[in-house]
Structure 1
Amino acid sequence: MTSKRVAEVVVSRLEKRGRVSVEAKATPGRRGKARIVQLTPTGTAARNAAVRLVDTVQEDWRQRFSNAGIVRLHEALSRVVDRLPVELPHHVTGYGAGDPSVTGGDYVLEDPGPPRIPAHGQDWPVVIREPGSAARHLPLPALLSQVLAAFAIDYERERLGHLSVVSNFLRFVGDEGVTLARAQALGGVSGNGKTLHERHLDVVVEPGRPSDKRRRVYLTPKSRRMRDAYPHLVTEIEQRWCEEYGDAVPAMRSVLATMDERFDDDLPDYPDTNGWMHRLWFD
């Protein structure tokens, strides 16, 4: 599941690369013509290669982290996903190329339900999960993505920033600020006033020569509140999840903590929700 704005960007880029074709066709019961998107032979080959790659990585993980561990993780994730009220993305994505949030804000207010439908932007599709749809048949990446998205939705519901922004940027900037070079390495700041964190007034950058990377970057008061709330809020949400999803949550934590100890690199606490869209322009 992706927002309309993500779908438009992706289809446009894939059409230019010859992976899909788009044709206007009349559809029964609908006025006018609908744009029908179909895979080209090149697109079909890419899709099949991606399916094989997912299978390969899952098998590699079984070898690396033990089959029993992956089975436990898959079972725990499935139990959570089966209880989610709406379908969520099967791959990590934001609402748009310039919006790292999952649902795109609160243009449409939350419906407490049941089923609970989160607040969302006008381009975010609401698809109620069908009774009996078994998450256990999904591959591991689809389960991980949906659980991450669900946690991010609960986090962003508190209006204390986007989980990806707080966990990967704001919490690494102390009250004393960081150099522009460090802020650029963390991502989202260039010093020209046009990047995400500058436009959203998350940070202020010391004036000076554009080439001076020693200029300091400081969090604004609202960003400091977001940063300081982060450790308390993630703990609070995890506790809520334990009450709602039972022992599936500590089971997930146990397996993931063991896996984290064996990863080669220091990976981010939350994945880049927009990077895959940006790569479509250059790959």
Structure 2
Amino acid sequence: MHDIILIGFGNVGQSLFKGIQETHEFRVRQIFVRNKDHADLPTSVRVTDNLQALESADLYIVCVTDDAIEEISKNLPFNDRLVVHTSGSSAVSSLKDQTRAGVFYPLQSFSRSKEVNWKEVPLCLETTLESDLTFLKKLGRALSDKVYAINSEQRKKLHLAAVVANNFTNHLYFLAESICKDHNIPFEVLHPLILETATKIQSMTPYEAQTGPARRNDQKTLNSQLQQVEGTALDKIYKLLTASIASTYEREKL
């Protein structure tokens, strides 16, 4: 049985805890939090708010905000144990003063209100030592069927792509929901359309899956909708995305 210590217990830390405890080869031995009054702390493992009191373990997973990674790393009472962070945008070098550093980045959106199926979560791994990557892959495969060796530069670009594909898209859902609310239309009417697009790009490229008035160069519809969004938060966004789609498929008109 391999012992793991979680440093931080936010959305990622809590989900990791549940996933790790369900494996047969790994267990969470201890959790570090800044505030021991944290409402969601489990009672089955030891908890500390003192980095100097961290116990010996095979792996330390830093599940904190990007801005806090370096501070946590510098204050660890050791520098020769395997320490990884879970950030998509921070390089492995952000783990300052650690000779055995790595990244265990789960490419997923985590919410406390929704359980994650770890078997479907892509895990992007990196270590400074090749021998540590073997161990990290063992943990990754115990959790997920999708394990990838991704370096810091690749992961930074992957995180950018994830922000575009997930965070920006979700904000567009919010704007679409606002339109529906303003006109007494149930947002759920759009659910099948949203699901169909998400399903379609698993068997088609996004380029092939694109539809809509900008793809068709339907000027009548575009002009009508531009009038509807004029002066609203959607105005610039609609124009920018329409121009991007139009330029992407411009060659098809030739």
TM-score (norm: length of structure 2): 0.27
Larger fraction in strand: 2
State the structure with more CA Rg.
2
Bigger RCO of structures 1 and 2 (CA < 8 A, at least 6 apart): 1
TM-score (norm: length of structure 1): 0.25
